Homo-oligomer: A and B are copies of this chain.
Amino acid sequence: MRHRWRIRPMIEALPAVVPFVGPEAQERARGKPFRARIGANECLFGPSPLAVEAMAKAGSDIWKYGDPEGYELRHAIAAHHGVSPENVVLGGGIDGLLGNVVRMFVEPGISVVTSDGAYPTFNFHVLGHGGNLVRIPYDNDREDIGALVEAAGRTNASLLYLSNPDNPMGTWWLSRDIAVLLNAMPDHCLLLLDEAYCEYAPSDTLLPFDVSDRRVLRFRTFSKAYGMAGARVGYCIGNRDLIAEFEKVRDHYGMNRTAEIGAIAALSDQAWLSETVRKTAAARRRISEIGRANGLLPLESATNFVTLDCRRGPQFAKAVMEAMLARGIFIRMPGVEPLSRCIRVSAGPAEELDLFEEALPLALVDAQQASREG
Residues of A within 8 A of B (CB): 1-8, 10-12, 14-16, 18, 20-22, 24-25, 28, 37, 40, 42-47, 51-52, 55-56, 59-69, 71, 92-93, 95-96, 99, 103-107, 110, 121, 128, 158, 185, 187-190, 212-215, 223, 227-232, 242, 244-245, 247-249, 251-259, 262
- With A3-B215, A121-B253, A256-B230 already in contact, the answer to whether A52 and B59 are too (CB < 8 A) is yes
- Minimum Cβ distance to chain B for residue A195 (Å): 18
**A229 touching B262, Cβ below 8 Å:** no
Q: How far is the CA of A204 from the CA of B259 in the complex (A)?
A: 38
**A3 touching B187, Cβ below 8 Å:** yes
- Minimum Cβ distance to chain B for residue A129 (Å): 9
Q: A61 is contacted by which of B60, B230, B253 (Cβ under 8 Å)?
A: B230
Q: How far is the CA of A42 from the CA of B56 in the complex (A)?
A: 20
- With A253-B121, A254-B93 already in contact, the answer to whether A62 and B37 are too (CB < 8 A) is no
Q: Which residues of B contact A212 (CB under 8 A)?
A: 1
**A230 touching B1, Cβ below 8 Å:** no
Further 13 A-B residue pairs, CB within 8 A, beyond A1-B215, A3-B187, A45-B63: A1-B212, A1-B214, A4-B188, A8-B104, A8-B107, A11-B103, A11-B245, A16-B244, A16-B248, A22-B69, A25-B69, A25-B71, A64-B230
- Minimum Cβ distance to chain B for residue A3 (Å): 4
- With A42-B63, A64-B229 already in contact, the answer to whether A247 and B18 are too (CB < 8 A) is yes
Q: How far is the CA of A93 from the CA of B252 in the complex (A)?
A: 11
- With A7-B105, A60-B46, A262-B62 already in contact, the answer to whether A257 and B244 are too (CB < 8 A) is no
Q: Which residues of B contact A68 (CB under 8 A)?
A: 18, 20-22, 25
Q: How many copies does the complex hold?
A: 2
**A60 touching B37, Cβ below 8 Å:** no
Q: Which residues of B contact A15 (CB under 8 A)?
A: 248
Q: Which residues of B contact A232 (CB under 8 A)?
A: 253-256
Q: Which residues of B contact A64 (CB under 8 A)?
A: 37, 40, 42, 229-230
Q: How far is the CA of A230 from the CA of B73 in the complex (A)?
A: 15
Q: How far is the CA of A92 from the CA of B47 in the complex (A)?
A: 23
- With A6-B158, A67-B25, A188-B6 already in contact, the answer to whether A95 and B251 are too (CB < 8 A) is yes
Q: How far is the CA of A16 from the CA of B232 in the complex (A)?
A: 25
With both beta carbons as reference points, the residue of chain B lying nearest to A128 in the complex is identified as B249
Q: Which residues of B contact A60 (CB under 8 A)?
A: 46-47, 52
Q: Which residues of B contact A37 (CB under 8 A)?
A: 64
**B67 touching A47, Cβ below 8 Å:** no
**A95 touching B4, Cβ below 8 Å:** no
Q: Which residues of B contact A242 (CB under 8 A)?
A: 5
What are some 8 contacts across the A-B interface (CB < 8 A)? A11-B103, A18-B247, A24-B67, A25-B71, A47-B60, A55-B56, A95-B251, A230-B257
